[in-house]
Every structure is written in structure tokens, then in C-alpha cells.
């Protein structure tokens, strides 16, 4: 489940073939509350970054095998690692080497011997930029009203989970669209501030029910929300959707026009599929939307679900 804005300690990878240098840098940074990892050579560093990208890399240049310049070039050529700031920490103190390092994409170049306070200050500065960038990226993926993921983040996760399920044909993927009934009339009668409160309460209900890390509730647009349930079959997905529907109904959010309904309720249309090359995740959205339409036309405040394989409805 999406956990909102995250504030975690910074991770720093130190790459140097000299054990004494690794020990010294770890001692210097011991009181900075960083998660420190070390790599004794370039090859090890690349594997470490691929497995768990750090927030910043301190990189020596002269090393056996891949030198620091080669490691930097490889990292900057990889879309997944290109934005990790790299600080060269080296005995090479001529302007040609410094210029080459910066041209390869390093954010800083510190020559040995170095002052401990200089190392600390440079790291603090560059990690501050990392945190600011990460915060902006997280904010760009949040719906500002409900503080749950927005459509942009949802699209990213849909593509990711669809691709993951494709690699294992036995993993079902379930999705649903939730619509708040007669919400425009609620807004017109109660005012937008009350409508906003209702949407926030419904969003909070969804996130409380979706407890698994990969489950996702997102703002789909207006009074519609989206539910993403990886590795969830139809029976499990319908159970979750029905739980959400009943819990929203139990909130008893007053509807101002008694002739329409006494309380706000939600209609949910969902679908479950075993992803295959013959279909795309947009088809899941279309099927869920069709089921939502049926739920609304069948009296609202209900869940309509279906499942399908490529070319076969169930």
C-alpha cells in the first residue's frame, strides 16, 4: 500500500579498493546517521547499486578492474541509476581528471588528502538536494485533496504490476473503479467543503482496508477512485470491494436529498485477469468501467465483478 510521503535516513555507498580508506571514511561519517555501505572495487559497486540503489556514492578513481571513471559512466548510462549523485574522492588532483569526472556526470570532486569536515559538508549539501528532489517527486504523485496516489502514479503502478504478472502467467491481477453516488447533487446542496470531506473520508477508508504493500487505492478523477490488487483472484478481490462498500455505507455520510438516498454510497465495478500478451491493462480498465456502469444502472450501492482471459470471458 502506498504510504504517502516517506522520510528515511540517507544511504551512502563508499567505493574504494583500499581497506584503510574505507575504515577512515566510515569513522568520519559514523555520527551522521547515514546508512553506510562499502564496495572494494568497481564490479562489486555496480552489483550493489543494482541490488539496492543508494542515495549517494563516494567513488575512488584508481581501482583494479573497472576504475572510477568507468563505473561512473556505466551508472550514468543506466536510466535506473543515472540520477544517483556521485562524488569522486581521489588522489588525482589535476584539472584534466577533475574536468573528466564532472563531464561524466559527477556532482563533486574531492582530492586526497581531505578534511573530514569538508567531506561531511559536501555530503550534507548533496543529500539535501536528493531529499528535495525525492519530496517533489512524491508530491507529484499524490492527489492534493485526499493525499492518496493520483492518476500519474496509478498508471506507473498498473504498468509495473501488469509486466510483473506477465512474467508469471499464474498470478491474477484485479482492478476496480469506485464511484461515489450522486456526488454532484451532494456538492450542489452541501457545498464543496463538505464534498471534499466526504471524498477524504472515503479515501481514508480505502487505504485502511487495503493493507498489503502492493495494494493501491488512487484518485481516478472527480468522484471516482481506483483499486489495484496484484496477486488477487476474483473471490478475494470481490470480498475486498464489498468490504469497502459496506464500510463506506457505515460512515453514514448524510445525503441532503432524502428522495434520492439517505446516505452517500459507492458503486464498484471490477475485473480480474491473468495477464497475457493478447491483452493489455487498458482492457482491464475498460472491463472494470463497464461493470461500474452496470452497478450504477442496477440500483447503485453494489459490486459487479467479472474475470477474463485473453479472448475468453468468465
* CATH number, position 195: 3.30.70.270
Same domain? For 120 and 196 the reply is no
Q: Phi and psi dihedrals of 153, rounded to 5?
A: -65, -40
Q: What is the mean predicted confidence (pLDDT) over 263-268?
A: 93
Which of 86, 125, 126 lies closest to 109, judged by CA?
86
pLDDT on residue 261: 66
User: Cα separation of 295 and 261, whole Å?
Assistant: 16
Which of 248, 213, 217, 215 lies closest to 230, judged by CA?
215
pLDDT on residue 139: 86
Report whether pLDDT(92) > 50: yes
Report the CATH number that the domain containing residue 117 is assigned in CATH: 3.40.50.2300
70 and 82 Cβ atoms separated by less than 8 Å: no
Report whether pLDDT(312) > 60: no
Residue, of 278 and 181, whose pLDDT is higher:
181
282: phi > 0 → left, psi -120 to 50 → alpha, else beta; which?
alpha
User: Cα separation of 15 and 13, whole Å?
Assistant: 6
Q: Which of 110, 139, 168 is the last residue of a domain?
A: 139
Report whether pLDDT(198) > 50: yes
Which of 265, 289, 273, 266 lies closest to 176, judged by CA?
289
Report whether pLDDT(180) > 90: yes
Report whether pLDDT(6) > 70: no
User: Which contacts of 17-22 are long-range, i.e. CB under 8 A and separated by 24 or more positions?
Assistant: 17/41, 17/60, 17/62, 17/63, 17/64, 18/60, 21/60
Same domain? For 236 and 115 the reply is no
Q: What is the mean predicted confidence (pLDDT) over 151-177?
A: 90
Domain assignment of residue 227, yes or no:
yes
- Asked if 223 is an active-site residue, the reply is yes
Share of residues in the chain with pLDDT > 70 (%): 93
Beta partners for residue 263, in sequence order? 254
What does the block give as the cell for 88? 569522486
Confidence of residue 314 (pLDDT cuts 50, 70, 90): low
> 2-6, 28-32, 104-108, 180-184: which range is least confident on average?
2-6
Confidence of residue 273 (pLDDT cuts 50, 70, 90): very high
Same domain? For 103 and 180 the reply is no
User: Cα separation of 272 and 269, whole Å?
Assistant: 11
User: Cα separation of 4 and 171, whole Å?
Assistant: 27
Same domain? For 162 and 289 the reply is yes
Task: Say if residue 113 is preceded by a cis peptide, omega within 30 of 0.
Answer: yes
Residue, of 224 and 308, whose pLDDT is higher:
224
Domain assignment of residue 81, yes or no:
yes
What does the block give as the cell for 168? 508469471
Report whether pLDDT(179) > 90: yes
Beta-strand ranges (E) seen in the chain are 11-15, 35-39, 56-59, 86-90, 108-111, 173-180, 216-221, 224-230, 266-273, 303-309, 312-313
Please give the order of strands across the beta sheet that includes 11-15.
35-39, 11-15, 56-59, 86-90, 108-111
- For 266, which DSSP code? E
The number of distinct structural domains making up the chain is 2
Domain assignment of residue 2, yes or no:
no
Confidence of residue 309 (pLDDT cuts 50, 70, 90): low
Same domain? For 205 and 237 the reply is yes
Whole-number average pLDDT of the chain: 91
Q: Provide the residue range defining the domain that includes 51.
A: 11-139
pLDDT on residue 211: 85
Report whether pLDDT(1) > 80: no
pLDDT on residue 123: 95
User: Cα separation of 239 and 206, whole Å?
Assistant: 13
The single residue of 35, 223, 242, 249 carrying the catalytic annotation is 223
Same domain? For 163 and 296 the reply is yes
Same domain? For 92 and 219 the reply is no
Same domain? For 181 and 113 the reply is no
Q: Which of 76, 111, 139 is the last residue of a domain?
A: 139
Q: Other C-beta atoms within 10 Å of 270: how many? A: 27
Q: What is the mean predicted confidence (pLDDT) over 146-169?
A: 90
Entry pTM: 0.69
Amino acid at each position: 500500500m502506498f504510504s504517502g510521503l516517506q522520510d528515511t535516513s540517507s544511504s551512502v555507498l563508499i567505493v574504494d579498493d583500499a581497506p584503510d580508506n574505507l575504515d577512515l571514511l566510515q569513522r568520519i561519517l559514523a555520527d551522521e546517521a547515514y546508512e553506510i555501505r562499502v564496495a572494494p572495487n568497481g564490479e562489486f559497486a555496480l552489483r550493489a547499486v543494482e541490488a539496492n540503489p543508494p542515495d549517494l556514492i563516494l567513488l575512488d578513481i584508481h581501482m583494479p578492474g573497472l576504475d572510477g571513471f568507468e563505473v561512473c559512466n556505466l551508472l550514468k548510462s543506466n536510466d535506473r541509476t543515472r540520477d544517483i549523485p556521485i562524488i569522486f574522492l581521489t588522489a588525482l588532483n589535476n584539472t584534466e581528471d577533475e574536468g573528466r569526472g564532472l563531464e561524466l556526470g559527477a556532482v563533486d570532486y574531492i582530492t586526497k588528502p581531505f578534511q573530514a569536515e569538508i567531506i561531511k559538508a559536501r555530503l550534507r549539501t548533496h543529500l539535501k538536494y536528493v531529499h528535495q528532489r525525492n519530496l517533489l517527486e512524491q508530491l507529484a504523485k499524490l492527489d492534493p485533496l485526499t493525499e492518496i496516489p493520483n492518476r500519474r502514479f496509478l498508471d506507473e503502478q498498473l504498468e509495473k504490476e501488469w509486466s510483473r504478472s506477465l512474467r508469471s502467467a499464474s498470478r491474477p491481477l484485479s482492478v476496480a473503479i469506485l464511484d461515489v453516488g450522486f456526488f454532484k447533487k451532494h456538492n450542489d446542496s452541501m457545498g464543496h467543503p463538505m464534498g471534499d470531506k466526504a471524498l477524504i473520508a472515503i479515501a481514508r477508508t480505502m487505504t485502511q482496508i487495503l493493507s498489503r504493500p502492493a495494494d493501491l487505492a488512487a484518485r481516478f478523477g472527480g468522484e471516482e477512485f481506483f483499486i489495484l490488487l496484484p496477486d488477487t483472484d476474483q473471490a478475494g478481490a470481490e470480498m475486498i470491494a464489498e468490504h469497502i462498500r459496506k464500510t463506506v455505507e457505515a460512515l453514514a455520510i448524510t445525503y441532503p436529498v432524502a428522495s434520492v438516498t439517505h446516505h452517500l454510497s459507492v458503486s464498484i465495478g471490477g475485473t480480474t485477469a491473468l495477464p497475457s500478451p493478447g491483452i493489455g491493462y487498458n482492457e482491464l480498465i475498460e472491463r472494470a468501467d463497464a461493470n461500474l456502469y452496470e452497478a450504477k444502472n442496477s440500483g447503485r450501492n453494489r459490486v459487479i465483478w467479472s474475470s477474463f482471459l485473453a479472448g475468453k470471458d468468465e
